[in-house]
Amino acid sequence: MFSGGLAPRDGGKDMTSRTLEGKNRFAGISRMAKSITMKSAALFFPEKVIRSVMSNIKVGCIEVESPDSGKWTLGHPESSPKCRVRVHRKALFENLVQYWDVGLGESYQLGDYDVDDLVAFISIIILNIPHLPGISGSTALHSEVNREGGENLKIHRRNGNTLRGSRTNIAYHYDLSNGLYSLFLDPTMAYSCAVYEKPEDSLHRAQLNKFERLCRKLELKPGDHVLEIGSGWGGFAIYASGKYGCKVTTLTLSAEQKALAEERIHVAGLESRIEVRLQDYREISGTYDKIVSIEMFEAVGYEYFDTFFAKCCEALKPDGIMAMQVITMPDSRFDGYKDGCDWIQKHIFPGSLLPSLYELARSVRNSGGLMIQHMENFDLHYARTLADWRRAFHSSRNEVMALGFDEFFFRTWDYYLAYCEAAFRTRNIGLLQLVLTRPNNVEFRGLNYTEG
């Protein structure tokens, strides 16, 4: 995936410091309504205001049980999806007034409410974006919600992707604990969208399908030197080198990922063909036959979109091929998204920004020598991937806690996985695989990527 605390055996920050780091991302903000001088109806009567705003829901049905006002319904009882929300603390409504969709996630982290179907709940919010003022992506206006959203934007803008900033941002998510990720990922340790070619495909089979599809798109052959930007835990490098006999130089900014990737490469007996570097893509030199990047571009940052493709163009041999997998935002919502801050950017992937297809094409054009040859969308495959991850994460709850993580961390990641599944299931975001070459590359065959 555009890739609590640590058990001491995993290295890194201890559990207490990391949990506090996560909570401090909204300490003093999410509860700001309690300390602000109340000057409006929104702050005096937050539940009333939120009920009014959410009465605009046109798709789906939410049954709410609140400690102050009993049971009430939003949307239409005969409409789907459906869910039930039990409010435990009225701080939920205060958070919604102050930070709207970011506050919705933060209140879940803190246990202000529970939902019988979290994916359905978030899906309803997404499907009603045009009708819900103040929410990320909505053009509807309402002066009484998201009143302090600018505070979240300030936090996001501090997480810039300079050479130093990128290392900090990547470490925040990927250096959590290798043991944590192993609890819900498949044996390849692939943390990106799988491709389910058959209804009966397991997560593991689907991840291998994804690797094979990318290898075919790269037209790999023995002797190729592949540059991988974003190592993960070495899954693609091991598959590509093991099956196709190519050499792989793979880059990561995560010390934890590098350590485990090298261990896995050693077990596979591929040390002579795979090199893992703790290195930024902006620091690479030399040229390569093939370049691959799997869900790394989301961490590049808008100001470096052009830099990324220019560097890839510089590193790709004249008859080379580049393949990338990337999560995308709809073109129509990109400008508003770029200038805001959502819950994922604040709490999961600091410094991240999903590109739109137009922005990808624009940056490819500005690269000075690349062109898009092929494109596929796998959005619903990602919804299924996330459902598989979340199911495994819940099944491993005791093991997660044994690693030193707490309830706050578990709820944060539960919301994260459900949030992303809902976004792909409603096609609010997409997942593209792109193939790029230089113009006049007569060596590029562009074969059927799904057949042997």
Does residue 225 surpass a pLDDT of 50?
A: yes
pLDDT at 313: 97
Backbone angles phi, psi at 57, to 5 degrees: -60, 125
C-alpha distances out from residue 93 to 43, 85, 305, Å: 9, 13, 38
Give the integer Cα–Cα distance in Å for 254 and 111: 31
Q: Which amino acid is at 149?
A: G
Do 185 and 389 touch, CB atoms closer than 8 A? yes
Residue position matching structure tokens 């999560």: 327
Give the integer Cα–Cα distance in Å for 334 and 339: 9
Strands (E), 154-246: 225-229
Task: Of 22-31, 129-138, 155-164, 292-301, give the range with the top mean pLDDT.
Answer: 292-301
Confidence of residue 368 (pLDDT cuts 50, 70, 90): confident
Average pLDDT over residues 184-210: 98
Average pLDDT over residues 182-191: 97
Average pLDDT over residues 17-39: 47
Q: pLDDT tens digits, residue range 44-73? A: 467 888 888 888 899 999 999 998 889 999
Does residue 36 surpass a pLDDT of 60?
A: no
pLDDT at 449: 63
pLDDT at 29: 45
Does residue 176 surpass a pLDDT of 90?
A: no
Task: Name residue 249's beta-bridge partners.
Answer: 227, 275
Residue position matching structure tokens 């470490």: 171
Residue position matching structure tokens 């459902």: 387
Give the integer Cα–Cα distance in Å for 348 and 341: 12
Do 439 and 39 touch, CB atoms closer than 8 A? no
Helices then strands, counting H and E runs in the chain, come out as: 18, 11
Does residue 224 surpass a pLDDT of 80?
A: yes
Residue of higher predicted confidence among 171 and 442: 442
Could you say which of 215, 246, 312, 420 is catalytic? 420
pLDDT at 170: 60
Q: pLDDT tens digits, residue range 333-352? A: 999 888 888 899 888 988 88
Nearest-Å Rg of the Cα atoms of the chain is 22
Do 197 and 422 touch, CB atoms closer than 8 A? no
Antiparallel, parallel or unpaired: β 61-66 and 82-87: parallel
User: Is there a catalytic annotation at residue 420?
Assistant: yes
Residue 101 buriedness (CB in 10 A; 0-12 / 13-18 / 19+)? buried
pLDDT at 230: 97
Does residue 31 surpass a pLDDT of 80?
A: no
Residue of higher predicted confidence among 108 and 147: 108
Mean pLDDT over the full length of the chain: 86
Does residue 15 surpass a pLDDT of 80?
A: no
pTM reported for the whole predicted model: 0.87
- Sheet of 70-75, strand order: 70-75, 61-66, 82-87, 113-115
Backbone angles phi, psi at 70, to 5 degrees: 70, -145
Q: pLDDT tens digits, residue range 226-265? A: 999 999 999 999 999 999 999 999 999 999 999 999 999 9
Average pLDDT over residues 188-207: 98
Does residue 148 surpass a pLDDT of 50?
A: no
Residue of higher predicted confidence among 136 and 344: 344
pLDDT at 446: 87
Sign of CA dihedral 392, 395, 397, 402: negative
Give the integer Cα–Cα distance in Å for 195 and 199: 11
Does residue 94 surpass a pLDDT of 60?
A: yes
Lowest mean pLDDT among 96-100, 265-269, 413-417, 432-436: 96-100
pLDDT at 302: 94
Do 12 and 176 touch, CB atoms closer than 8 A? yes
Strands (E), 237-315: 247-252, 274-278, 288-294
Percent pLDDT > 90 in the chain is 68
Do 203 and 186 touch, CB atoms closer than 8 A? yes
Structure tokens at 160: 């810039």
Residue 251's closest CA among 216, 211, 299? 299
Does residue 19 surpass a pLDDT of 80?
A: no
Alpha helices in 34-189, H assignment, sequence order: 41-44, 46-54, 91-109, 118-127, 149-157, 163-174, 178-184
Do 124 and 366 touch, CB atoms closer than 8 A? no
Structure tokens at 360: 């990808």
Chain-centroid distance, C-alpha 208: 20
pLDDT at 6: 29
User: Following DSSP, what letter does each residue of 301-325 receive, concatenated?
Assistant: -GGGHHHHHHHHHHHEEEEEEEEEE
